[in-house]
Amino acid sequence: MVAGAAISPYITTTGRTCITPIEIEYEIEPTTHFIKALRKALKIIKVSTHTKEDLTSVVKYSEIAAKQLRIDTLPVNTIKRKHIKLLLEHLSRTKEKWSANTFNYYRAHLSMLFTELLDNEAIEFNPVKDIKKQKHTQLIRQVLTDDERVKVNDELQKNNYSFWRFMQIFFHSGSREAELLRIQGKDVDLANQQFKLIIRKGSQNKEVQKTIKDLALPLWTEIMQNCKPTDYVFSVGLKPGTKSIRPEQITRRWNRHVKIPMNITADFYSLKHLNLDETAEMLGIVAAADMADHTSTVITMKHYAIGEKGRQHIKLKSVNNTFVKEKPPVETEGVPKLTAHENILSAS
């Protein structure tokens, strides 16, 4: 019997039952070399463009490490957890920047590719799945101070209006940069103050309706004046156009126009944290989580509404639930009702 074949019975002219193999056509053969198999998985995996580019980078550096370790040509169906751990350890020694976050990043993206290989019958199990994540320190997100907010607002509004407008819309949206950059004219409903976008996480997509706040409505109205239904609302120059632009352009603009010239350390994405924290303060943590389309308020409180724990601390300090409940004073006809303090004094 040949490798990768199934069996099928048939009846001969003599009446005997014989079995012949049926060849199975694999999209990715189990004996494909390790790195070549990763590249094939990369080619067919269905993810967002941004995730695809991240995966491409991971495969690129994994190939360099695998060749140095001489495991690049091993059949992919022989790759075990020890090979992946060896690969990650080698990357930690050879890459210029490496941290627990980087380890977890490579682990997650390699696991996505091996899951694709598993779905295509190239391997029997995912060797990355049981490799534990590395613990890392969750740093407090740096956000703009009140003075920095004034400075950034005034400078961009005066000298870089299209970026200022995008910044304002982003701040009030509770969305990610990449999500806003995918919005087309047909997705915006000014009459009902809503816009529709696709949230992409891994291989899953979810369409959601987002609210356009009264504060941001004039800016949405302005940019939609010259936006066709099939135009991207934020295209080249952050104006309506036919070309989709990448989120990295926002980071580069922020660095060029804000971080470097104004000596500011907070990144652009921190504006989302600011807005969600202030929303939580005004409307509560549930409203902030809903605005961000988080499935749990835990995510919002832990990573975005950075002041919520402090506000909860203040509220908890003033919770007045005494161990012994005070009984209401007994009312006697014709006798005025005494307060608890007066009852104590009278008893003494």
Residues 101 and 156 occupy one common structural domain: no
User: What pLDDT score does 176 carry?
Assistant: 85
Residue 88 falls inside a structural domain: yes
User: What pLDDT score does 3 carry?
Assistant: 46
Residue 277 falls inside a structural domain: no
Which residue did the predictor score with more confidence, 210 or 296? 210
User: Scanning the structure block, which residue is given the tokens 């695998």?
Assistant: 66
Lowest mean per-residue pLDDT among 53-62, 81-90, 240-249, 279-288: 279-288
Residues 107 and 155 occupy one common structural domain: no
Mean per-residue pLDDT over the chain, rounded: 82
Task: Out of 204, 237, 268, pick the residue that ends a domain.
Answer: 268
Task: Out of 212, 242, 268, pick the residue that ends a domain.
Answer: 268
User: What pLDDT score does 8 carry?
Assistant: 53
Residues 254 and 207 occupy one common structural domain: yes
CATH number at residue 242: 1.10.443.10
User: What pLDDT score does 50 carry?
Assistant: 77
Using one digit for the tens of pLDDT, what is the confidence trace for 253-279?
999 999 999 999 999 988 888 887 777
Residue 113 falls inside a structural domain: yes
Residues 172 and 221 occupy one common structural domain: yes
Most confidently predicted of 2-6, 44-48, 283-287, 289-293: 44-48
Rounded to an integer, the average pLDDT of 166-194 is: 91
Q: How much of the chain, in percent, has pLDDT values that exceed 90?
A: 50
Phi, psi of 194 (to 5 degrees): -140, 155
Residues 155 and 262 occupy one common structural domain: yes
Task: Out of 268, 294, 325, pick the residue that ends a domain.
Answer: 268
Residue 316 falls inside a structural domain: no
Residue 10 falls inside a structural domain: no
Using one digit for the tens of pLDDT, what is the confidence trace for 6-55?
555 555 556 666 665 666 667 889 999 999 999 999 999 988 777 888 99
Our count of domains for the chain comes to 2
Residues 174 and 104 occupy one common structural domain: no
Residues 115 and 154 occupy one common structural domain: no
The token duo for 22 is 């049926």
User: Scanning the structure block, which residue is given the tokens 């989120």?
Assistant: 247
Residue 294 falls inside a structural domain: no
Residue 159 falls inside a structural domain: yes
CB 123 within 8 A of CB 81: no
User: What pLDDT score does 1 carry?
Assistant: 39
CATH number at residue 70: 1.10.150
Residues 264 and 175 occupy one common structural domain: yes
Residues 180 and 110 occupy one common structural domain: no
Residues 264 and 201 occupy one common structural domain: yes
Residue 283 falls inside a structural domain: no
Structural domain harbouring 49: 34-119
Q: Is the pLDDT of residue 180 over 80?
A: yes
CA 23/CA 7 separation, integer angstroms = 9
User: What pLDDT score does 21 carry?
Assistant: 60
Residues 114 and 177 occupy one common structural domain: no
Rounded to an integer, the average pLDDT of 68-88 is: 96
Which of 46, 43, 49 shows the shortest CA–CA distance to 246?
49
Lowest mean per-residue pLDDT among 266-270, 278-282, 309-313, 343-347: 343-347
The token duo for 82 is 């020890």
Q: Which residues neighbour 315 within 8 Å (Cβ) at sequence distance 6 or greater?
A: none
Q: Work out the pLDDT band at 87, boundaries 50, 70, 90.
A: very high
Q: Is the pLDDT of residue 91 over 90?
A: yes
Residues 213 and 260 occupy one common structural domain: yes
